[in-house]
């Protein structure tokens, strides 16, 4: 523990993985501020974590709030993502509206850009600071009905690469989790046999714990051990990215 002692971390998001990383960072000794939309953020009662509510509509006001929280110097910026979408919310490309896509991109891409610009001076002042973007299985596996997530997360990947290329020695990486979140649990309740089979063929043969496994990977990316690692997709998924696409192809061929 205490691998982040003395580090200042700003974490932005409302999803379970973001909350888990905030909890793990605080346990590792970091000074942690968690920003997110008020009603959702109120549910995140975390020890030793300062919470700040942001409004989603006014980009200039959001940027000012983020810049104030970042302060003069910042060591770690974590840009949260989304949980797995409920199946009732799935929509294929043929029915995806511009408004729905724009709404998700506003959260995953535009807000990330606002945060990056608001924190740039503080991150550069921190020296070899770390930016961690969170990805999602909804962007990795492109299930039928995850069109909006697939599109938005790939745009987010492009933003990460652009920052990694331009902002050195500040580093930027994408953390790709596979974890036991509310979204995963809801998906499993609807498809228990299918989900259990997919998990059984992953390298680690279990779903990641948000704090221990995903939070641990985020600590690794935030600490000085990764000061020469940038522009990478880092999979904290127990090997799911190696096996699940192959299994899905086989299942589709057999159906």
Residues 111-136: pLDDT tens digits?
999 999 999 999 999 999 999 999 98
Q: Determine contact, residues 59/110, Cβ cutoff 8 Å.
A: yes
**What's residue 137's pLDDT?**
76
Note if the pTM is more than 0.85: yes
Radius of gyration of the chain, Cα coordinates, nearest whole angstrom: 18
Lowest mean pLDDT of 108-112, 147-151, 167-171, 249-253, name the range: 249-253
Separation between Cα atoms, residue 18 and residue 90, nearest integer Å = 22
**What's residue 91's pLDDT?**
86
Determine the CATH number of domain 8-254: 3.40.50.720
Separation between Cα atoms, residue 184 and residue 140, nearest integer Å = 14
> Mind listing the pLDDT tens digit for each residue in 74-117?
999 999 988 777 777 788 899 999 999 999 999 899 999 999 99
Q: Is residue 29 scored above 90 in pLDDT?
A: yes
**What's residue 63's pLDDT?**
95
What is the mean pLDDT of the segment spanning 193-200? 87
**What's residue 42's pLDDT?**
66
Neighbours of 235 (CB within 10 A): 18
Q: Is residue 251 scored above 50 in pLDDT?
A: no
């Amino acid at each position: 523990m205490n691998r982040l002692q003395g580090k200042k971390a700003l974490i932005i998001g409302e999803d379970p993985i973001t909350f888990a990383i905030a909890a793990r960072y605080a346990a590792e000794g970091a000074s942690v501020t968690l920003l997110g939309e008020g009603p959702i953020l109120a549910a995140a009662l975390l020890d030793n974590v300062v919470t700040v509510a942001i409004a989603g509509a006014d980009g200039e006001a959001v940027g000012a709030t983020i810049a104030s929280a970042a302060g003069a110097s910042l060591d770690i910026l974590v840009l949260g993502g989304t949980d797995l979408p409920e199946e009732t919310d799935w929509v294929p490309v043929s029915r995806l509206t511009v408004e729905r896509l724009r709404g998700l991109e506003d959260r995953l891409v535009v807000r990330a850009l606002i945060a990056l610009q608001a924190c740039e001076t503080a991150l550069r002042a921190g020296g070899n600071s770390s930016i961690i973007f969170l990805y999602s299985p909804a962007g990795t596996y492109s299930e039928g009905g995850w069109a909006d997530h697939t599109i938005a997360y790939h745009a987010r990947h492009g933003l990460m690469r652009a920052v990694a290329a331009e902002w050195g020695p500040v580093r930027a990486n994408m953390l790709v989790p596979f974890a036991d979140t509310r979204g995963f649990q809801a998906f499993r309740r609807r498809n228990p046999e299918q989900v259990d089979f997919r998990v059984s063929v992953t390298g680690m043969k279990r779903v990641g714990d948000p704090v221990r496994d995903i939070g641990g990977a985020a600590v690794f990316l935030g600490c000085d051990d990764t000061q020469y690692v940038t522009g990478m997709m880092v999979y904290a998924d127990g090997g799911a990215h190696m096996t699940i696409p192959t299994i899905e192809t086989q299942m589709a061929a057999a159906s």
